[in-house]
Chains A and B, each alone.
Chain A
Amino acid sequence: MDLTGTRMRRAVVERPGLVVVTLLGVLLFLDLVRRVATGQQGIAQLVGFLWDGTVIGLVIGLAGIGLSLTYSILNFANFSHGDIVTVGGYVGWATTFAIAGFGTANFGDLVLLGASGGVSPRSIGVTVTTTPLAVVAGLVVATVAAAAVALALDRVVYRPMRDASGISLLIASIGVALALRYAVVFVWDASPQGLTAASDILSVRIALPGGHFTLGAHQVTLVVMALLLMAGLHLLLQFTKLGTAMRAMADNKDLARVTGIPTERVIRLTWIVGGGLAGAAGYLAALERGTIAFNLGWLLLLLIFAAVILGGIGSVYGAMVGGLAIGVVSRVSLVWIPADFGNAAAFLIMILILLFRPQGIFGGVETA
């Protein structure tokens, strides 16, 4: 008791900022309890926030794994990661429509997702229940294509710069991001494309105090697929030799090298895994939203960074949990703030984490 008292006193003196932030967090939680108890905050809406937060959080977590791995192994913040998400999403959806609309519409119009004005994608009626094969094929192609793009970019851009500083690589990755994003615009046009019609999608309405809460089939698909992919990654990391090598590299690069781990092979695998999961995240995000736009991944990127920093750079499991936390924060914060500030709240959390616990909650690889 006395010991914890001393420790607490020391914490207050040494890190007053942290204490203030913690107190503020506790205060907000108490306020939330009060709001729910007094009926000021409807339970249905709160459950909706939590569910939406989980859905977007899984996308962020899935995409964050690759960012976290490359950040720790190659030691740079990859600003092009968001656009890998976009490329995966577009290529995957082009595949889905090519399969689902086969025979009913012109191939070119389908692959361009209606950017040519030839066909309205919503009229094809793609949903996970009516055209499951097309959706699964799209997801697989999105994963493979994004992995291939990530690998090609590493070969052309990042590999010749292995010895460059982290900042040089960061700037180069901004160049990659620009080139990728506008290559997507060049092919698919800058205006967003609608993919699925909300009325086609199976959904369940659950009555709760203060309203009702809707569970959509595509949201459930996203959650299931994301969890499956994460479980698959877990198996890969824990039970294969390359997975162990990857974890070793992320943990301590020099030590890994001394023990004879083939560095370049592990780096290639990292790009494949990270890029592939990012592509899958892009596909699933577009599935859940029912639309896709060229800045899909770029807008997610800062949230992904927030998740990775929250979870601890280099920690795969940290990225997953960090993604969920960031997703939930960006939605539950809407209890207090207007809807357009959800992302701002998530960025604020990231800045606070950087200030008070730069190694992240999971204490990944210390990089500060």
Chain B
Amino acid sequence: MTADGLAVADVVDRARTSGVFRGFVLALAAYVLLFAVGLAVPGVAGVRNLVGLIALYFLLVFLLGIHWRHSDNDVALIAGFMLVIYVAFAASGMALGLDLNGIVNTLRRLTFLTAVYAMLVLALNLHWGYAGLFNIGVAGFMAVGVYTMAMLTGPVDPGPTQVGGLGLPLWVGIVGGMVAAAIAGFVAALPALRLRADYLAIVTVAMSEILRISYLSTTFQDAIPPLRFFGITFVPSLPVGTGGGQGISMPTNPILALFYTNPQDTTSAPTALGSLLFGIGRQFDVLDTVIVGWAYAVVLFVFVIAFYWLLVRVGNSPFGRVLKAIREDELVAKALGKNTRRFKITTFMLGCALMGLAAILWQGSQGFTNPGAYRPIQTFYIFLALIIGGAGSNTGSVVGGAVFASVLFEGPPFVSRLVSKTFELRASPGNFGDAVAALGRFDFGPLFAYTLHNISTIRFILLGVLIIALMQRRPDGLFGHRKEVAAAVDLSDRGGEDG
């Protein structure tokens, strides 16, 4: 909270008019009431805890709202937001009866997902927010980055369970993956940028599907076959495979080298840093794997900062000003002598390279990847996060990634578990028919239990409805109103109200 300059009277005033605060008061009153009742009736503890949790959520949202209005500092905004998410999830975890290790691991997962989505959304923001390029083939460019990296660094003579690679060092693989993703972006952009925005959309999604089909295909599973035409071999066979549907293994996570003397083997002796951190963790019953995971998440956050910094720099550079001009009115940019096509292609390639890097960092945590991770739905997740944050704003991209990862992706299963635990629901019926059949007896329990049980399906429906609602009511997202003007100096700002 930025306490300075924030009068108590203002908060009180805000609290009087805020619906969220009223919700908090109501939930708090209900909590107190249930507490009093609970002294006499023992069965209400679960409901009481849930109501208490709801009161906490309301309070957090209210505080966040105040923070939002009074903070001009984007870093403080993001930090405040992450803090609220951590507190909300930690409290929910406690209510679920998770131990400290479970809670720390939940927060690790949130941090990890927030970081990967923030990176991907930042990269997409460069395309859509800055240059107005409607790319819905993000998953395809991610796949190119990860697969190229895995194929470059794979073992030269693989065992029976692995596919061959070129055996190059990790950094070559990462750079190679980014370059390959950029080249894929070039191939997609060169022709498609001549077309309308919705054609670019169709071309990119088709391209991402062609790429996924290729990685899934058995043709390239063990080795790339020679390219032959009319009996002439143009490209010889390469002993590098994609692994087909079984996926491909990736190099050992380099973070492990910080913790173990032999990174390949997690039973080997820990390094000095490893033994120090593991020792602290054991004091609190936190598992070693959770600590390694946290280290990875922290490294990812450093990358988020780097992405953010890079994009802010790009956005404020003369290059970025041309991009914004293209987004606002391409004809004018052209008339001013800018080669808009070249600007767009360069931007598209840069964004694709960043998508490739983000995907490498994401998939690199698990040492394995397969084509199932690059379905078009992945692209839509990233797009939804961008819309939530507001296209065109880098801070919005990070917050959008965090909202998506926590509230929309991890949140529903948590809520489902909390509700199931509180109300001790009967077992879910195995199918929709039994759930609906009970409605005939005015028994809503089975349908409710079925809904909670299938929360991962319901989550997709909610995401879809949310996309529609956002496009209808708030197409600008949380930060879309903060227009970054194309000019170096805001020409429209004449000291009056900001438009």
Residues of A within 8 A of B (CB): 31, 76-77, 108-109, 111-112, 115-118, 157, 160-161, 164, 166-172, 174-183, 185-190, 302, 305-306, 309, 338, 340-341, 343-344, 347-348, 350-351, 354-355, 358, 367-368
Contacts and interface: CB of A to CB of B under 8 A. Distances in A.
Interface string B202-217: 1101110110011011
Contacts of A354: 191-192, 195, 199, 202-203
B465 interface: yes
Contact of B472 (A108, A112, A160): A160
Interface in B182-229: 191-192, 194-199, 201-203, 205-207, 209-210, 213-214, 216-219
A67 B457 CA distance: 27
A179 B464 contact: yes
B464 A166 contact: no
B472 A178 contact: no
A174 B430 contact: no
Q: Top 5 A-B pairs ranked by shortest CB distance? A: A175-B467, A179-B464, A178-B464, A182-B460, A108-B433
A347 B194 CA distance: 18
B191 A170 contact: no
B206 A182 contact: no
Nearest to B380: A174
A186 B458 contact: yes
Given A185-B457, A338-B219, A172 B467 contact: yes
Nearest to A347: B206
Given A171-B387, A172-B468, A175-B464, A341 B457 contact: no
A170 B199 contact: no
A182 B432 contact: no
A340 B213 contact: yes
Contacts of B207: 347, 351
Contacts of A180: 464
A141 B468 CA distance: 28
B87 to A, nearest CB: 30
Contact of B196 (A175, A178, A189, A368): A368
A338 B209 contact: no
B468 to A, nearest CB: 4
A166 B197 contact: yes
A174 B468 CA distance: 8
A108 B437 contact: yes
Interface in B444-478: 454, 457-458, 460-461, 463-468, 471-472, 475
B404 interface: no
B63 to A, nearest CB: 30
B265 interface: no
19 contacts: A76-B198, A112-B431, A116-B433, A164-B475, A170-B134, A174-B136, A175-B463, A178-B460, A178-B464, A179-B465, A179-B468, A183-B461, A185-B457, A185-B460, A190-B457, A354-B195, A354-B202, A368-B195, A368-B196
Contacts of A115: 431-433
Nearest to B465: A179
Contacts, number: 152
B217 A341 contact: yes
Interface centre among B194, B199, B214, B458 (most CB of A within 10 A): B199
Interface in B33-47: none
Nearest to A306: B206
A103 B467 CA distance: 43
B434 interface: yes
Given A189-B431, A358-B195, A368-B195, A176 B209 contact: no
A344 B472 contact: no
Contacts of B209: 302, 343-344, 347
Contacts of A183: 461
A243 B202 CA distance: 29
Main secondary structure of the interface of B (DSSP, over half): helix
Contacts of B431: 112, 115-117, 189
A117 B433 CA distance: 11
B185 to A, nearest CB: 15
B259 interface: no
Interface in B223-250: 230
B480 to A, nearest CB: 12
B432 A302 contact: no
Nearest to A180: B464
A183 B463 CA distance: 12
B58 interface: no
B472 A186 contact: no
Given A112-B433, A181-B460, A344 B198 contact: no
B268 to A, nearest CB: 41
A178 B463 contact: yes
A166 B431 CA distance: 39
Contacts of A351: 191-192, 203, 206-207
A171 B467 contact: yes
A178 B467 CA distance: 9
Nearest to B459: A182
B24 interface: no
Contacts of B219: 338, 340-341
Given A175-B468, A189-B431, A344-B213, A166 B460 contact: no
B388 to A, nearest CB: 12
Given A116-B434, A167-B197, A368-B199, A186 B454 contact: yes
Given A111-B433, A174-B467, A189-B432, 13 more contacts: A116-B430, A116-B433, A118-B433, A170-B134, A179-B468, A180-B464, A186-B458, A305-B206, A306-B206, A341-B214, A343-B213, A351-B192, A351-B207
A341 B213 contact: yes
A176 B465 CA distance: 7
A189 B467 CA distance: 23
A337 to B, nearest CB: 8
Contact of B468 (A31, A157, A367): A157
Contacts of B454: 186
B213 A177 contact: no
Contacts of B475: 164, 168
Nearest to B471: A172
B57 interface: no
Contacts of B191: 351, 354-355
Contacts of A305: 202, 206
A368 B472 CA distance: 26
A171 B457 contact: no
Contacts of A189: 431-432
Given A175-B468, A178-B380, A340-B216, A186 B206 contact: no
A338 B213 CA distance: 11
Contacts of A190: 457
Interface in B345-364: none
Interface in B253-277: none
A99 B205 CA distance: 40
A164 B380 CA distance: 20
B307 interface: no
B383 interface: yes
A167 B386 CA distance: 14
Contacts of B457: 182, 185-186, 190
Nearest to A355: B191
Interface in B155-196: 191-192, 194-196
